Amino acid sequence: MTGLRKRVAVLYTPGTNCEEETMAAFRLAGGNPQLLFMNDILKGRVRMTDCDCFCVPGGFSGGDHIATGILVATLLADHFRRLVEARIPILGICNGFQALDRARLFTDGVTLSRNDSEVFCSMPVKHRVETSNCIWTKGLEGQILRFPSAHGYGKVVGESRPNVVLTYASESPNGGFIAGICSDNGRIFGLMDHPERPYGNPDGLEIFRNGIRAA
């Protein structure tokens, strides 16, 4: 039975700390999640494209040294490009969103800055699903999804308008209005808050199910 399920690669790097909840959420959503170690990718033992769906979970990759998500984005730049070329659905949560943004998988001129409060913010959050071409939120447009924040650098800023998928329908944890964006083709989704927490959260599971369906 497990072999018939879509393969979901969940990236693990030094500093990742949300992989267990993320894998549990994908499993409950009907996927077959497998942990993928960055060191194995860099040494050529595995390929990032050997999956149906790919996720960069939350945490503090590289200890957030230099800048949030920059080490993952730099070391795996070519591998991310191959994922995009293979049209594999990609999800980036919290630090994963930061890494995908650093790898320039979204609109140019958009970045994530420090919370207006200048402190790490963990709180329950309501998210409004906007109308977009995002495969991860297909059929959820107009709904309010509830799952928590846990970040210190999550405010979407920039000179250009990104492809907005989620907006804050309650108090913003970072002072911004945008809670999640996607690539122009709708297949790469980044959000700062945590749909995997708790991993049985029905609102979050809808996002994971959509990604698996689209894979």
Q: Is 159 among the catalytic positions?
A: no
Reply yes or no on whether the pLDDT at 1 is more than 50.
no
- Mean predicted confidence (pLDDT) in 82-90: 97
CA gap 180, 55 in Å, rounded: 15
Answer whether 92's CB lies under 8 Å from 190's CB: yes
Query: Is 2-214 assigned to CATH 3.40.50.880?
Result: yes
Q: Which of 94, 121, 134, 182 is labelled catalytic?
A: 94
Q: Counting beta carbons within 10 angstroms of the beta carbon of residue 98, is it exposed (0 to 12), middle (13 to 18) or buried (19 or more)?
A: buried
Residue 146 has pLDDT above 50, yes or no: yes
> Is 94 a known active-site residue?
yes
pLDDT in tens, 7-57: 999 999 999 999 999 999 999 999 999 999 999 999 999 999 999 999 999
The domain limits of the chain are 2-214
Let me know: does 166 contact 137? Beta carbons within 8 Å: yes
The predicted pLDDT at position 3 comes to 53
Q: What is the DSSP letter of 130?
A: P
What distance in Å separates the CA atoms of residue 58 and residue 69, rounded to the nearest whole number? Answer: 10
Which of the residues 19, 21, 196, 206 is marked catalytic?
196
Asked if 89 and 132 count as a contact pair (C-beta separation under 8 A), the reply is no
Active site residue 20: no
Q: What is the pLDDT of residues 67-82, one digit of tens each?
A: 789 999 999 999 999 9
Nearest CA-CA partner of 36 in 95, 82, 76: 76
